[in-house]
A and B are shown apart, each in its own frame.
Chain A
Amino acid sequence: MSASVAWSDVEVGTELPSLTVTLQRVNLVMYAGASGDFNPIHWNERFARSVGLPDVIAHGMLTMASAGRVVTDWAGDPGAVVEYGVRFTRPVVVPDDDHGATVDVSAVVAEKRADNLVRVDVTAVYAGSTVLGKAQAVVRLA
């Protein structure tokens, strides 16, 4: 494990490079296949509407994975992530068009701990609202 960021170089409040993730229907199909989660709310618009959703929604775990990239891109070695957790607070609705859904991900160092650990708080915003709650990662820096 060898993070490319040094613990001594970060402070509480240090912002990580943000990223923008675009999720289109093809990404949901790919995630369904790769993960084995074939719940039709993630690919079948007719079914999604029948259970009261506005349209097909992204897998929560795809949103979590996409948001986590803000941390792993920064850390360099994804193996430096010691903990990662989120609450799924709002669905990311993915329309069948050429644009899909855009999720803006940002993150900030929220706490420095012993043993070169930091807690990073992650924010994921879709259509003006956060879609993850208490999204936090603990990372072991160099």
Chain B
Amino acid sequence: MALNQDYVGKVYPASPAYEVGREKIREFATAIGDRNPAYHDVAHARSLGHRDVIAPPTFPFVVSMRASAVAMFDPGLGLDYSRVVHGEQRFAYVRPVTAGDSLVVVTTIENIRVAAGNDILTTRSDISTEDGEPVVTTWAVTVARGTAEGTA
């Protein structure tokens, strides 16, 4: 089933807050094999001018992925999640995600297109603090293999 083009531009309500903890940042940094002290050592992070340990540049995807489920599993959109692969990811940072942040995400369906029988979905996640301070915007391109109209 092809994706519903009417959903281009659809903006979903802000997600519940994601509380960013020091230990989560350390766990994530360890999982990606990154010992950069800015992720682990509060004093070092402060010496760089940060309020607390900061998260690696790809960490915001953990927050945006969870929040964008409202779009991915929106029955009206028609995405076949079983055929999905990750096509692209891009981040534009206002500042790094920092321990102690309470983040909310607004997910927007930015684009839907078809290429080579694949449905290609671009979602934008605007991540800000609960107080409204913008932190990072991230774009995900999701490819549903062979789901566009006219293909089996």
Interface residues of A (CB under 8 A from B): 1-2, 21, 27, 30-31, 33-37, 60-62, 64-66, 68-69, 72-73, 76-79, 81-88, 137
What residue in chain A is nearest B54 (Cβ atoms)? Answer: A79
- In the complex, are the beta carbons of B56 and A31 less than 8 A apart? no
- In the complex, are the beta carbons of A85 and B89 less than 8 A apart? yes
One digit per residue, 1 when the CB lies within 8 angstroms of any chain A CB and 0 when it does not, for chain B 105-144 equals 0000000000000000000000000000000000101000
**Sampled A-B contacts (12; CB under 8 Å):** A36-B65, A61-B89, A62-B31, A64-B89, A68-B56, A78-B96, A79-B54, A82-B93, A83-B92, A84-B91, A86-B90, A88-B88
Interface residue range, chain B: 35 or more
The contact of B58 among A36, A84, A88, by CB within 8 Å, is A84
Interface residues of B (CB under 8 A from A): 24, 27-28, 30-34, 36, 38-39, 48-50, 54, 56-58, 61-62, 65-66, 85-93, 95-96, 139, 141
What residue in chain A is nearest B62 (Cβ atoms)? Answer: A35
- In the complex, are the beta carbons of B90 and A83 less than 8 A apart? yes
Q: Please give, as numbers and ranges, the residues of chain B lying within 8 Å of A65 by CB-CB distance.
A: 32, 34, 56-58
Q: Please give, as numbers and ranges, the residues of chain A lying within 8 Å of B90 by CB-CB distance.
A: 83-86
Q: Please give, as numbers and ranges, the residues of chain B lying within 8 Å of A37 by CB-CB distance.
A: 65
User: How many A-B contacts if CB must be within 8 Å?
Assistant: 107
Consensus secondary structure, chain B interface: mixed
What residue in chain B is nearest A67 (Cβ atoms)? Answer: B58
Q: How far is the CA of A51 from the CA of B77 in the complex (A)?
A: 23
- In the complex, are the beta carbons of B38 and A78 less than 8 A apart? yes
What residue in chain A is nearest B94 (Cβ atoms)? Answer: A82
Do A34 and B27 form a contact, CB below 8 Å, given A66-B32, A66-B33, A81-B93? Answer: yes
- In the complex, are the beta carbons of B34 and A72 less than 8 A apart? yes
Nearest-neighbour CB distance to chain B for A65, whole angstroms, equals: 4
Q: How far is the CA of A73 from the CA of B139 in the complex (A)?
A: 24
Q: How far is the CA of A68 from the CA of B62 in the complex (A)?
A: 16
Do A61 and B31 form a contact, CB below 8 Å, given A73-B36, A79-B95, A79-B96? Answer: no
- In the complex, are the beta carbons of A69 and B34 less than 8 A apart? yes
